[in-house]
Amino acid sequence: MWDNFTFVQGLKIKKALQSSIYPILFARRISATSFQGLSLTTRYDSSIDLNPSISPTSTLQEWRSSNTVAIHNALRTKEFQDPLSLFANPKDIQTTTISEVAATKNEEDIHLLD
């Protein structure tokens, strides 16, 4: 993460994870990589919001509450480094193909990609 993202959102994410509080992140124009740990890469026009007050957040919070032990174990065992892992794909959230996202007219729509 670069610039203000490192000192604002990055530190908030780090503190939350160290406290075993797993924040809900809504991000725009970022990349996630697992090279030498889990990293989020930002650009000049990226945005990251922790625990936003929008409708999908409550569904994700319920999922998080039901899976806290699994999340903790996945972080401890570094499951995120397995590119074939589907751990972060909650079944109760509708996924969207990339071609459907490309056809979306509203840039504010939120999609979990399949």
- The DSSP bridge pattern shows strands 39-50 and 25-33 to be antiparallel
Whole-prediction pTM: 0.56
Whole-angstrom distance, CA of residue 24 vs CA of residue 106: 22
Specify the 3-state DSSP secondary structure of 73: helix
Whole-angstrom distance, CA of residue 98 vs CA of residue 5: 26
pLDDT digits (tens, 9 = 90+) for 67-94: 888 888 888 888 777 766 655 555 555 6
Pick the more confident residue, 76 or 111: 76
Extents of the domains making up the chain: 3-89
pLDDT over threshold 80, residue 64: yes
pLDDT over threshold 80, residue 53: yes
Of the listed ranges 26-30, 85-89, 100-104, the least confidently predicted one is: 85-89
**What is the rounded average pLDDT of the residues 58-74?**
86
pLDDT computed for residue 58 by the predictor: 86
